[in-house]
Amino acid sequence: MAETDLIPTRRDVLRTGTAVGIGLLAGCSGDASTGTPTSSATSTNTPTETDSGQSVTMEPVGEVEFEEPPERWVPFTGDYADIGVALGQADGLAGIGIRARYAAHLYEELPGVSVNKEELPQLYQDGVDKEIFYEVDADLHVIDPNFMINRLQWSEGDVEEVVDNVAPFLGNTSFTQVYDWHNYRYYSIYEAFEVLAETFQERARYEAFKTYHDEVVGEVQSRTPEASPDVAVLYPAGIPPESFFPYLVGEGTQSRHWRDLQVNDALAANGVTDAQAGGGRIDFETLLEIDPDVLAIRLQGDVSEEYFDQNIRSHLEDHDVASDLSAVQNDRVIYGGVTYQGPIIHLFQLERAAQGLYPDEFGDEQLFDRERIAEIVTDGE
């Protein structure tokens, strides 16, 4: 079937605003051959009322107009999927970039909240073909188009085609701040959350989440010991690991729980380059030179304590070199969480990180109320 046979008629429900329609993307109007975007204009989270509905603004796209809130929506990364679920939009979730990197299993602890990610179409299949966007047929792509261009080898023409024939893009790559092509504004978890709340017209859920989030973080921080440990966040290059990809505790949303817990970044202090910025693997010999207080091992998916003990802790304890690390000898090898976190996943990751870093203070205590979060998601208050 020819690709043109898949093109639907232009939606009446959503349409891109002037800022997107002219020059395609405020942040993607650079050299398409190099994938280098130019800076976009200053944006705001405040929605603008129009004659036909409302508009929201987010860099790098700029302004997007809606005649009514989108029903079907698709993110690429799990942080935006989590934001949509927090806003009560789970039923409209129409796909995901990579299923394994979306920690939807955490919703099992929230009564009445669930996402069966195995039923979601996966956008990435040895690359991302435009045809999957036609098949998913969403009303909104909650994706930074510059991510598609610079990380997934799309052209500006590919993005423009999908915008014209399927639906607009609205998203900002904020999980990390090391990509050299991202020369426009970054958004925190809650800044992105606010933009999507206006998009879906779910302001009350956003406000309820933010209020409770601030309470939880404040309480956890009030109980956190003053002495901050030196932590190395690592992703195994294999299981069991012999080397790791280093991840710095930077300003990206992927590190929000570590910043909340005010840890010291052992890797950054020793001049290690983040893997997402082209840093290479580091082995146990290099780690021994740094000798962090804590090793926080990041893994994707549903990671049980049994799996972590068997495949990470035990391996390090039995390893000729790793066994000499202070973190291994002092039982300070902890689970480091997943990469993509929105408001729900962040609370789970904050809790598990606090328990791992400070077991004498937090133990196995639940640090946030599952029922309260479930009520916000399901009831909006």
- pLDDT one-digit tens code per residue, 24-83: 443 333 333 333 333 333 334 555 555 557 899 999 999 999 999 999 999 999 999 999
Asked if 284 and 234 touch (Cβ cutoff 8 Å), the reply is no
pLDDT of residue 9: 29
pLDDT of residue 48: 56
pLDDT of residue 293: 98
pLDDT tier for residue 355 given thresholds of 50, 70 and 90 = very high
Is the per-residue pLDDT at 221 higher than 80?
Answer: yes
- What CATH class has 225-379? alpha beta
For 293-310, what is the mean pLDDT?
A: 95
pLDDT of residue 305: 92
pLDDT of residue 49: 59
Residue 363, C-beta contacts closer than 8 angstroms, at least 6 positions apart: 355
Q: Which of 35-44, 170-179, 294-303, 326-335 has the lowest mean pLDDT?
A: 35-44
The two structure tokens encoding residue 130: 């435009």
Tell me the C-alpha distance between 16 and 166, whole Å: 11
pLDDT of residue 287: 98
Is the per-residue pLDDT at 11 higher than 90?
Answer: no
pLDDT of residue 53: 75
For 220-224, what is the mean pLDDT?
A: 97
The two structure tokens encoding residue 190: 């809650």
pLDDT of residue 260: 97
pLDDT of residue 37: 36
pLDDT tier for residue 381 given thresholds of 50, 70 and 90 = low
pLDDT of residue 51: 54
pLDDT of residue 54: 86
What's the angle, vertex CA 142, arms to CA 352 and CA 247, rounded to 5? 40
What is the residue type of 301? G
The 8-class DSSP code of residue 372 comes to: H
Average pLDDT, the chain: 88
- Start-end of CATH 3.40.50.1980 domains in the chain: 225-379
Tell me the C-alpha distance between 252 and 52, whole Å: 35
pLDDT of residue 380: 76
Residue 76, C-beta contacts closer than 8 angstroms, at least 6 positions apart: 96, 97, 123, 124, 142, 143, 147, 148, 171
For 231-257, what is the mean pLDDT?
A: 97
